[in-house]
Chains A and B, each alone.
Chain A
Amino acid sequence: TQLLEQSPQFLSIQEGENLTVYCNSSSVFSSLQWYRQEPGEGPVLLVTVVTGGEVKKLKRLTFQFGDARKDSSLHITAAQPGDTGLYLCAGVATGTASKLTFGTGTRLQVTL
């Protein structure tokens, strides 16, 4: 079973702080996606990374895919209360169908 482990599980920070969320696995992924989910809603796509070593930026969010395509990170600069939510990484393991394997999730709370 391919597992994606996220850390930390919970993060409570103040507005303006920086943070990094990690997503690690022993399996290789052909692509990896990051989602943000609000309570009672479906996950909303933030980014897809497909190339080892790839870095993508989305405003204050920076996503990196590990060289070996086994891990990824999400860095948020100057967090805002609107960043509060559940962050999920999800990957498509190589050699499998395109089903997503999700990480355990990181619940972020940003306070004023």
Chain B
Amino acid sequence: DTGVSQDPRHKITKRGQNVTFRCDPISEHNRLYWYRQTLGQGPEFLTYFQNEAQLEKSRLLSDRFSAERPKGSFSTLEIQRTEQGDSAMYLCASSNHAWTRGTQYFGPGTRLTVL
């Protein structure tokens, strides 16, 4: 069990560019979540997958955001035409609903800075 990993850890981009983040969950965890955290706030839910199915999306997830989990393992989060307001820490978490009682384990996050 190597924990949840995220890549990259830091991303600096110019406004208008597209960025993609990757999350590798704990193996055998069937649920994968994306959250966004801005400075001084707690994380806010964006979306989650059970296996490869995306089951819920927050209103925070605008049309510029898209997430995939094609084979039910790793997931990607893409932001198109980035805006300065997208600057935040993007966190990924995973769980196995059957035996962790919903407990979610978080990765180290990807810090996005949009200039």
Contacts and interface: CB of A to CB of B under 8 A. Distances in A.
Given A97-B48, A98-B95, A99-B33, A43 B43 contact: yes
Contacts of B25: none
A9 B42 CA distance: 12
A30 B107 CA distance: 23
A41 B56 contact: no
26 contacts: A30-B102, A31-B102, A33-B103, A40-B109, A41-B108, A42-B6, A42-B91, A42-B108, A45-B103, A48-B100, A48-B101, A48-B103, A50-B101, A90-B43, A90-B104, A97-B56, A99-B45, A99-B56, A99-B58, A100-B35, A100-B45, A100-B104, A102-B43, A102-B44, A104-B42, A105-B40
Given A41-B109, A99-B33, 8 more contacts: A35-B106, A40-B111, A42-B6, A42-B93, A42-B106, A48-B102, A90-B42, A100-B35
Contacts, number: 69
A21 to B, nearest CB: 13
Contact of B91 (A31, A43, A97, A103): A43
Instruction: Name, among B6, B56, B100, B104, the residue most crowded by chain A CB atoms within 10 Å (CB to CB).
Output: B104
Contact of A98 (B40, B41, B44, B48): B48
B69 interface: no
Contacts of B4: 42
A100 B43 contact: yes
Interface of A: 30-31, 33, 35, 40-45, 48, 50, 88, 90, 92, 97-105
A103 B44 CA distance: 10
| Contact-residue size bin, chain B (C-beta under 8 Å from the other chain) | 20 to 34
A101 B44 CA distance: 7
A85 to B, nearest CB: 14
B25 to A, nearest CB: 13
